[in-house]
Amino acid sequence: MSVLLCQDIKIEHLQSLVNHYGLTLEIINDNQPIPGSFWQPPEAGLIRDTLYLRNDTPVHSALHETCHYICMDKERRKTLDTDAGGRTAIEEDSVCYLQILLSEFIPEMKQPRMFSDMDEWGYSFRLGSSNAWFENDAEDAQSWLQQHQIIERDNQITKKLRIN
């Protein structure tokens, strides 16, 4: 099974989600370079408050970069250019956790498909799969997201950016 691509979803759902966090979504023409793509096309790219993707960009990649933007502090967001990577392992884990939660806002994706796509793409987790990690080993990521007021205790999204 191949991963879900942006061309396979109603892009308006992704547009609405990223806009809520202050991001602009820019779709690049097929076969063109993706600005701000750390891993290179078809992976999504980020430069300051713009998320770049193409039709062949995996949805999980677009959500992952969106979650980096949400989880980074305000100072990093101001100068963001290509390397959105978490500054700590726990921040990176929290990005993955949030990406799974935000998949519920993309009707064609949802969590089961996100788990499958993350595993297919090669995300690696201590328990061998994204689902096992999310269900049994991600308390630290969940706690980090709560501490930064990105999610509530019940995993509800606050729709807020990290501020510190």
Instruction: Please report whether residue 13 resides in a domain.
Output: yes
Instruction: Please report whether residue 153 resides in a domain.
Output: no
CA 22 to chain centre: 14
69 and 100 in a single domain? The answer is no
Q: 92-144, pLDDT tens digit by residue? A: 999 999 999 999 999 999 999 999 999 998 887 777 899 999 999 999 999 99
Compute the distance between CA of residue 53 and CA of residue 41 in angstroms, rounded to an integer.
8
Hey, what amino acid is at 68? H
Instruction: Please report whether residue 154 resides in a domain.
Output: no
Residue 118, pLDDT score? 95
Instruction: Please report whether residue 159 resides in a domain.
Output: no
Task: Among 34, 55, 79, give the residue marking a domain's end.
Answer: 79
71 and 35 in a single domain? The answer is yes
Q: 75-91, pLDDT tens digit by residue? A: 999 999 998 877 899 99
Q: 46-105, pLDDT tens digit by residue? A: 999 999 999 999 999 999 999 999 999 999 999 999 988 778 999 999 999 999 999 999
Instruction: Please report whether residue 21 resides in a domain.
Output: yes
Instruction: Please report whether residue 162 resides in a domain.
Output: no
Which two structure tokens, joined as six digits, stand for 113? 């498909």
